[in-house]
Amino acid sequence: MLPSTVKVLARHFFRFKIMYIALFLIASGIYVLTHLSFLESATPEPASANYEYESYVADNDITLQVIKTNPKYIRLRRIDNNVTASGIVGVNGGFFWEKQLLSIAVQDDVPVGGEPGARESGWFNAKYARGTLVYDGRTQAYSVQVVGDASQLNVTDRSDYWAQGGVSLNLQDDAGWRMQADTQAIPAPDDNRLRSAMAYAEDGVYLIVANMGCTAEDFRKTIQSYGKSLPNRLIDGIFLDGDGSSQLLAREAKLMGDGRPVVQMIGVD
């Protein structure tokens, strides 16, 4: 009798074990699906329609993801988040360390992270005078100015401009660009890293992110190649922060870098 009873109990135990495993798998699947849906809904579709998107594949196999917009729609923002989670069309901004902004990010003479003149607020290009792309709203003119802080910027009306710091691209100076980039302490120029840039032409602003690791030189050459394909060629621009910080959000594409949060982004209203 005892062996038979043990066999019956063993069979029932085995059946219940299978049932419990099946219920666990079903419950796990429901949990994952509902939480994935939550994550999707937590990042709404970008609202702005004030841009054009393009993907450009160069002969060197580097693909540039490009957002083109009018300078009046540029909004420099502090986000402390990954760009793809921001719900805002745009790309990453300048350099940072932890929560400290190390590049100029100023709109209408107000830094995105604090008060004018405050450290780590976006008022300074920390440690180095660096290339800063400036749009003068009064004259509707662009320039790349090498400055240490926003007080040194040459603009017509301090209540009507924006300025984004980075490292000078010098698209028109093949002989001297690298020397100036080194002077401005461009990070890891010879490493294959993800890279981002902000450039301008007569017809607008171009926010550019590479889809693969490349050197600063290869990235710059690819931007030049892309610029030559445009009706209005790119005139100049700046390298932005790169590597895992190279991020982009548009309806047509999402690039999250290595997933890290960035302190500041260049958004499109």
pLDDT in tens, 184-219: 999 999 999 999 999 999 999 999 999 999 999 999
Cα 210 from Cα 202, distance rounded (Å): 23
Q: Tell whether the model's pLDDT for residue 135 goes beyond 80.
A: yes
**Whole-number mean pLDDT of the chain?**
89
Residue 91 backbone phi and psi in degrees, to 5: -135, 170
- The stretch 140-152 carries a mean pLDDT of 98
At residue 109, the pLDDT reads 98
Cα 71 from Cα 73, distance rounded (Å): 5
pLDDT band at residue 17 using 50, 70 and 90 as cut-offs: low
Residue 39 backbone phi and psi in degrees, to 5: -65, -40
pLDDT in tens, 23-79: 555 555 444 333 333 333 345 578 688 999 999 999 999 999 999 999 999 999 999
Q: How many angstroms separate the Cα of 202 from the Cα of each of 48, 70, 142, 206, 234?
A: 22, 10, 9, 11, 8
- The stretch 242-249 carries a mean pLDDT of 98
The residue type found at 249 is L
- The stretch 7-24 carries a mean pLDDT of 51
In the chain, % of residues over pLDDT 70: 83
Three-state DSSP at 19 gives helix
Position with higher pLDDT, 30 vs 129: 129
Residue 6 has a CB neighbour count (10 Å cut-off) of: 10
Q: Tell whether the model's pLDDT for residue 122 goes beyond 70.
A: yes
